[in-house]
Structure 1
Amino acid sequence: MCGIIGYVGARKDAGVLAVEGLKNLEYRGYDSWGVACKTGGGIAMRKDIGKVSEVDSRDFSQDCSLAIAHTRWATHGGVTQANAHPHLSGDGTIAVIHNGIIENYQQLRDELIAKGHRFVSETDTEVIPHLIEEEMKTRGDFAAAARAACLRFEGRYAILALHTTSHALVAARTGSPLIVGVADDGYFVGSDITAFLTHTRTVQYIDDGEMVVTDGETILFSDIATGAERPKREIAITWSVEQAQKGDFEHYMLKEILEQKESVARAVNQDESQIQTLAQAIRDAKGTFLIGCGTAGKACMAAEYFFSVVANHHVNVAPASEFKVYHHFLKPESLIIVVSQSGETADVLEAMRVAKSVGSKVLAIVNVEGSTIAREADFTLLINAGPERAVASTKALTGQLAALLLIAYALDGRLQEGRKLLLETASKINDMLNPRYVERLERLARRFAASNDAYIIGRSWNYPMALETAIKIQEVSYIHAEGFAGGELKHGPIALIENGTPCIVLMGEDETKPDIISNAIQLKARGGVVIGVAPRNNEVFDEWIKVPDAGEAQALVNIIPMQIFAYFLAVQRGTNPDMPRNLAKSVTVK
């Protein structure tokens, strides 16, 4: 969840590089921030609560060629300056930043306290530099001491560390993401590629259970458990700097919503052999599970309907966080399809390992090339949405939906028909997302921005999109919102409707239309203000948001105006839609 970056090399502005890179990672956490630079006099450190985007990087221009920086999403300890990273060893010679959770930190802390160490924060992270300090008493070498400390840790972590007597940057990971950027004048290590994309697009991946030691000229990858060297190849990344920048938009969220004009088509333009490989794997499997978290989980739920309606094929859907209880049903012939934007979601990785423990095959649909999920899966399909910086996922969702629907058509032997439908849908989305349409949704958001509650209903694949609409409204505007299957209203939720309550109805021109209209009438009869999202107007709608008729791809077009609506609700209520409270991008803790 946190964002970390380090640089070591020939440049003398490492502090500036670290802070600028950290600003590109702020979507991963923005409770507090901190920077440590190795200087001639030791370690120059500065940290504070608040957003690093408000910090002037020129304040870190001291002569420094080795620096680490961190932006925090709090897990252990409150949002205070003392709990902000970096954390120092007791003698002040070691600085550490960390993303993840050291699960046995209490045991380690008690052991270190008994040896005379004094702790000044409430975090699990602070045990790391203290344990390295303790290990150095018997080992002397900084990298060897860091490796020995890592062998003691339980949990998921990505660590960067520096020492006053060494010009080495030490990095280690188990579970949490970490990647090396290879530049002409040194090496970067960061949580993801956007941290150093302005400086290099050449990377080396750090795999689970590995550590890295680099002095800016040479780099050594090794196995934490054995110390054996792990040779790595350099890989060129296709993302551009422009894709990862905000440009003229006030927020990344709106930029990424409007990028769906192109991103849906990129998700559809896949190598046919890859799609057919996925479809054949589903045919051959004795039980298929679709798993994801949050927004990706809603894509999996929609896909359950895709496979049923389009391919007459049953698949199981489970939240990744709950998947471990399904191990009783898994066999080597089972197929697990995991969906993740970042490719680093902790619960998804845990589910993959559960599946692999019994020999099940794992296929992955991800957005980030070279991510941990992509590397650990037996087969990977990229949705090619480009960098997604806003915490609220938007364009990745429609890319996931497009890929899953395309696979459903391939499973039914109609791949070209599915491709044609989705490319036509992409064209309709391009036409739909015009300035007048966006302005109309902004006016609608202005009308309902003062609401305390909102309820959203749908049927078939629009039911998961109702749940997703609720998530979007919740996370960026903080309005209490809930999504329901239309038919479930009469089993309890309709008691919540009172005069003036906004009620959003997601609809398509399909077999469920008469039933969802009936549900809308029920909402209106109880005083609800009915906002219809549909290809055609209906007399029950108090407000109509027109969307194209996209047939089996209706979920893709219906969710986009809801993303825009949620965005403008946030703007009207004065919240930052890119950085919602208590949330962060890329959930790397369980």
Structure 2
Amino acid sequence: MCGIIGCVGHHDDTLDVVLDGLETLEYRGYDSAGVALVDDSIDVQKKQGRLEALRTEIAKRDVTPTGDVGIGHTRWSTHGPPTDANAHPHTDEAGQVAVVHNGIIENYQSLRDELEAEGVTFTSDTDTEVIPHLFAAYLETDLSTELAFHRTLERIDGSYAIAAVVAGDDRIFATRNDSPLVLGIGENQYYLASDVPAFLEYTRDVVYLDDGDVAIIDADGWDVTDGDGESVDKEVSTVTWSAEQTGKSGYEHYMLKEINEQPTALRQGLSGRLDELAGDITVEELDDVGFPETVHFVACGTSYHAALYGVELFREVGVPAQAFLASEYATGPAPIPEDGLIVGVTQSGETADTLSALREAQGRGAKTLALTNVVGSTAARECDHALYIRSGPEIGVAATKTFSSQLTALNLLAETIADNTRGSRDLVLALRDVPSDIQQVLDETTAEAIVDEYVDNESFFFIGRGLHFPVALEGALKFKEITYEHAEGFASGELKHGPLALVTSNTPVFAIVTGNDERARKTIGNVKEVEARDAPVIAVTDGQSDVERYADHVLEIPETHQRTAPMLANVQLQLVAYHMANQLGRSIDKPRNLAKSVTVE
């Protein structure tokens, strides 16, 4: 993995289209980049490091690469370290075939052993390199290029999105299995990419490929077949957002832009789904979901924290629920309930671990629902139901507005499943007000000034109870993702069962305390525990309790419903992470070693 772009029909500016597409995909995370342009021969240029290094290397050349067909790739290392040799595209020995690939070829070692025994010399450590060598070997048997590509695909196992080109051929050959790939349909110009923003400047008409689809594009059009070469009818969809929405809009970082977009994102997610006068919640996508005996959430990372929040909501409305790390679900001991609902929480709808868990559940007869941001994503297409969070494009690797939108959508889901018609009027009004409440937090936050005092600390704790516990976990994750500093989230009552041994005067503790109920009072008791160890306390609070008495600093949020208070607290913690990372000079939008869409297991 991580980013693929291809185009045909651009003639003199093919290189610029490919490089600009890769630049748009930088948010996915990567450690090297490369391009291949095709005419009578294939011209490959690739380089370890950022895209700027590749552009610099190309600029040094006496002759700029040209061709009517181009493919490009940004790599996030899986097999072999980030080096020039391991960067994509990869070619066969004669340089007649070039390939870019996301995913993992699981049987690459046996294929490599076989090819090396036949005299083939490999130049990289990657699993990908077996693909161009196999493709070239089949071409040498006088098979048509299409059939040679199919024969190659028959030999490989694993997850992949592949784009391949052949010298002297003006087509791109592409396929996918468990890794996203989408076609862009223009006028005499056609594209393929791992994500729509790569070509959104040129077209918003797209075709989402399914597993097993084989696509061929050239300047005259596009064609999709199945594994047997039979034509497949594919629907052309129109993306509703524009290229401008993927820009920074004057903000220093995408992450800061997306934190500030949360009021708009939540309004989009709630639009048409709330009836304030009647106190109703109506979600058309959920009309026939029914009332499940139990709910299992499967998710990873930030989405897993949203799932933990969802578990609390479902238990409140009387539906037994559990959250599982998707990577552990299919192979773990927990039984998959045939009469239950399995909810995959995945921003991209392409997260490999989550897709595997959902497929395992479907294979055992369970009903599935994708809670996702991306219309047409694999999860949305494969699940029995899909609930879209409607956040719009999120470019920063560290999820922000999509997490808030997931929490909002989970409230809609829980209330809809609970009685299928009516929600709590108080909750409906609170959800209605969340966008303006978040705007107030954004306008009045003191997070930047507070983190100035703790920039030299090296360990940070985040604590909360009930619905605040998942937000504490998310606050810590966001902090460590972009600051590279140690941070941990805990259920407030668990500090005394071990983590308190780590608390010192150099361990700032962010405590989420809202309302004035028993949970708030118990959390204040935990705050006193860390205060007694001289740890600085930063309280995230609505002011209803007296936690301010024991805090060194306060991050205020408006008073609201107990279910929506965590959403407001979360925004303050996002700002804490952002401003600390900015103070430390970190790469906020592209944190090291991380990718936006994790499509390998």
TM-score under structure 2 normalisation? 0.94
What is the rounded CA distance, in whole Å, between the counterparts of 1:5 and 1:579 in structure 2?
A: 19
Query: For residues 3-50 of structure 1, what are the alpha-carbon distances to aligned partners after superposition, in whole Å with 9 as ceiling and x for unaligned?
Result: 01000115331111010001011122320000110134x111111111
CA contact (8 A) 1:132 1:146 kept: yes
What is the rounded CA distance, in whole Å, between the counterparts of 2:194 and 2:528 in structure 1?
A: 49
Query: For residues 412-459 of structure 1, what are the alpha-carbon distances to aligned partners after superposition, in whole Å with 9 as ceiling and x for unaligned?
Result: 44426233221112211122211x52xx21122222122110011100
For the residue of structure 2 that corresponds to 1:499, the secondary structure is: coil
Paired letter, 1:379 = H
TM-score under structure 1 normalisation? 0.95
Match of 1:302 among 306, 309, 322: 309
Aligned to 1:289: 296
Change (3 A) 1:455 1:162: same
Aligned to 1:3: 3
For the residue of structure 1 that corresponds to 2:70, the secondary structure is: strand
Aligned to 2:467: 461
Alignment gaps of 5+ in structure 1: none
Equivalence map 1:105-254=2 (5 Å): 105-224=108-227, 226-254=228-256
The alpha carbon displacement at 1:326 in A equals 5.4
Q: Confirm whether residue 498 of structure 1 aligns to residue 504 of structure 2.
A: yes
CA contact (8 A) 1:13 1:61 kept: no
What is the rounded CA distance, in whole Å, between the counterparts of 2:146 and 2:298 in structure 1?
A: 38
Alignment gaps of 5+ in structure 2: 275-280
The alpha carbon displacement at 1:173 in A equals 0.6
CA contact (8 A) 1:262 1:430 kept: no
Change (3 A) 1:277 1:197: closer
Change (3 A) 1:304 1:329: same
Give me the identity figure in percent. Answer: 39
Change (3 A) 1:196 1:364: same
Change (3 A) 1:37 1:401: same
Aligned to 1:87: 90
What is the rounded CA distance, in whole Å, between the counterparts of 2:337 and 2:265 in structure 1?
A: 36
What is the rounded CA distance, in whole Å, between the counterparts of 1:276 and 1:338 in structure 2?
A: 19
Q: Confirm whether residue 539 of structure 1 aligns to residue 539 of structure 2.
A: no
Aligned to 2:278: none
What is the rounded CA distance, in whole Å, between the counterparts of 2:64 and 2:248 in structure 1?
A: 25
CA contact (8 A) 2:506 2:536 kept: yes
Match of 1:394 among 392, 395, 400: 400
The alpha carbon displacement at 1:327 in A equals 7.4
What is the rounded CA distance, in whole Å, between the counterparts of 1:69 and 1:63 in structure 2?
A: 13
The alpha carbon displacement at 1:377 in A equals 1.1
What is the rounded CA distance, in whole Å, between the counterparts of 2:284 and 2:50 in structure 1?
A: 46
What is the rounded CA distance, in whole Å, between the counterparts of 1:274 and 1:231 in structure 2?
A: 33
Aligned to 2:47: 48
For the residue of structure 2 that corresponds to 1:133, the secondary structure is: helix
CA contact (8 A) 2:39 2:169 kept: no
CA contact (8 A) 1:290 1:336 kept: yes
CA contact (8 A) 1:28 1:586 kept: yes
Aligned to 1:550: 560
Worse-superposed segment, 561-570 or 318-327 = 318-327
Query: For residues 200-241 of structure 1, what are the alpha-carbon distances to aligned partners after superposition, in whole Å with 9 as ceiling and x for unaligned?
Result: 0000111001111111212110112x2211111211110111
Q: Confirm whether residue 379 of structure 1 aligns to residue 385 of structure 2.
A: yes
Aligned to 2:342: 336
Equivalence map 1:430-449=2 (5 Å): 430-434=439-443, 436-437=444-445, 440-449=446-455
For the residue of structure 1 that corresponds to 2:453, the secondary structure is: helix
RMSD value, Cα: 1.8
CA contact (8 A) 2:537 2:551 kept: yes
What is the rounded CA distance, in whole Å, between the counterparts of 1:432 and 1:394 in structure 2?
A: 15
Aligned to 2:35: 35
Query: For residues 364-385 of structure 1, what are the alpha-carbon distances to aligned partners after superposition, in whole Å with 9 as ceiling and x for unaligned?
Result: 1101111111111111111111
What is the rounded CA distance, in whole Å, between the counterparts of 1:257 and 1:126 in structure 2?
A: 40
What is the rounded CA distance, in whole Å, between the counterparts of 1:505 and 1:433 in structure 2?
A: 19
For the residue of structure 2 that corresponds to 1:101, the secondary structure is: strand
The alpha carbon displacement at 1:358 in A equals 1.2
What is the rounded CA distance, in whole Å, between the counterparts of 1:581 and 1:254 in structure 2?
A: 18
Aligned to 1:259: 261
